Amino acid sequence: MTNLEAVKSLYEAEGGNPADVADMKVASDVIYALAVKKGLNDITVAAETGTTEMWGKKVSTLQTGVTVSGGKITGTLKFVEGGFGETGPLAGDGNFLALKFTDSNSADSIKVGLRPSAGTGLVELVGDPDQNGVFKIAGTLDGVQQVFVVRTTKGSLVKEQVFDISELVLQTS
């Protein structure tokens, strides 16, 4: 067994998905992937509670039955006329997802958002007092299905969690 094969086996034995490191050709890349896996916990992502008010609207007016499980976000996003304000990324009619985040890493940076994005990209969560956010969901942008991304940085370690949102039901009225 080569060193590369050995560290790939160790990555898998530590709970890593073999597909994550399958294309890596250098043992040090796999060791770094293992350090990220062991050094950073996943950020907990959950639906924000329905009674929480965000930007002047109760979450229950935005969504129903939203759950986060197994790398997927599912549920129904209600159609909101006017969105949140007259300008900015949350302006205009559409569907909005409200999420709550919990960090057990004391991370240096946690950036959250949609990929592809309608302009804001990922936004910083560290320093946000309520640790939640509202995101305008298009479903697809330029023919590409959106996903929800959480990118955590602590020191030189960077971990990215990607959530499938393709099963969200987007109401149209």
Taking only the tens of pLDDT, the chain with its 173 residues reads: 999 998 889 988 888 888 888 888 988 888 888 887 778 889 999 999 999 999 899 999 999 999 999 999 999 999 999 998 878 888 899 999 999 999 888 899 999 999 999 888 999 999 999 999 999 999 888 899 999 999 999 888 899 999 999 999 999 98
Q: In Å, what is the CA distance from 145 to each residue of 10, 44, 107, 131, 141?
A: 33, 23, 28, 26, 7
CA angle 73, 76, 109 (to 5 degrees): 35
pTM assigned to the model = 0.84
Residue 146's pLDDT is what? 96
